[in-house]
Structure 1
Amino acid sequence: MLRALGLILLAVLWLSPLPELAAGSMVLHMVLHLGVTAVVPALLMPTLPVRAVGAVWLLLGALVEMLVVWAWHLPALHLWGRLTTVGFVFEQASFFAAGMLLWAVVRAAGAFGGAVVLMATTMHMTLLGALIGLSPRPLWGEICAGHLGMTALQEQQLAGVLMAGGGGALYLVAALTRLGHAVRGQQEEWA
């Protein structure tokens, strides 16, 4: 059920008019970004096998996801992804791969370790969203606006709110859920 839902959502995200519209809207781009990086991998990963990994692999997996997300928001890479088909395909593939890696690491880390990885992800996602949303000028020029009737700065601010509020909240809820499982598990061991 989760796998089917994840694959349907991925098809909607990539095969609908959304990618074309996202080229001219930072808000729609952020919806696409969060869907491909966070939501679809969260739905698909529980259906795939994983095995426990050591702390170094946990750190590396979380770091790779953070670097991919932050790198694609650098102006040169961001515009390459928005203005060229090759850049867009590479951006989307790396977002999806980084999201799958992150959720695989979360699962492999167990309840407590997964919660720690998700909390770190919450922090970097919220920070990047705040930096995008609070910037006093458009970071990527006028290319990031038009489809929703807002200025580039207004779209950027709303996209920052989506990233910090929506993305950050998604990872935070997942982290707190895993932390609750870890605490309940420890209480059962002590009983």
Structure 2
Amino acid sequence: MGKPARNWPLLLGLLVLAACWLGPLPAMSRTAFSAHMLLHLGVVALAAPLLAIGLARSGLRVDGLRHSSAAIALIFAAEMVVVWGWHAPPLHEAAALNVWAFVAQQASFLAVGLGVWLLGFASDSRRGLAAAMFGFF
């Protein structure tokens, strides 16, 4: 089996991102909370883990981070700050009204989501996956 066939999760993750960001959800999320949550979960719960699996299959390893309690705590703290920060009323409204704030919001959601999922899928143990799952939920 060739490398492109083996790396279908990376390609599917990029396709999910394209569907989320280039489809109707960004415009709908300005006024509908359900669209906002579909967009958020599409990026964090669908695209990020698919991208992390694809990157792990490409050979990316984060085993050093997985063994560092400080790094794990930093990634989970960043996730909490990003997710809760963007849901604070002033930042949430800014992302709804300003395209650059929206881009920053979505990029930061993807970055922290990818960080969490990489802890699980780009490590050699189930402990890393459990940490990623625990941090996500």
Shorter-chain TM band: 0.7 to 0.9
The alignment-based identity, stated in percent, is 36
Checking the alignment, whether the CA contact within 8 Å between 2:52 and 2:117 is kept in structure 1 is yes
Counterpart of 2:129?
114
1:91 maps to 2:105? yes
Post-superposition offset of 1:103: 0.9
Counterpart of 1:50?
61
* Runs of 4+ that moved beyond 4 A: none
- Who wins on radius of gyration, i.e. which is larger? 1
TM-score w.r.t. the length of structure 2 is 0.82
Residues 109, 61 of structure 1: alpha-carbon distance in 2 compared, 3 angstrom cutoff: farther
Q: How does 1:1-191 map to 2 (within 5 A)?
A: 1-48=8-55, 49-52=60-63, 53=65, 54-107=68-121, 108=123, 110-122=125-137
Q: Say how many residue pairs are matched.
A: 122
TM-score w.r.t. the length of structure 1 is 0.60
Checking the alignment, whether the CA contact within 8 Å between 2:94 and 2:101 is kept in structure 1 is yes
Amino acid at match of 1:103: W
CA RMSD of aligned residues (A): 1.5
Residues 41, 117 of structure 1: alpha-carbon distance in 2 compared, 3 angstrom cutoff: closer
Q: Secondary structure at the match of 1:97?
A: helix
Q: Give the stretch that moved more between structures: 10-19 or 113-122.
A: 113-122
Q: Secondary structure at the match of 1:65?
A: helix
**1:147-168 deviations in Å (ceiling 9; x for gaps):** xxxxxxxxxxxxxxxxxxxxxx
Post-superposition offset of 1:117: 4.1
Post-superposition offset of 1:63: 1.4
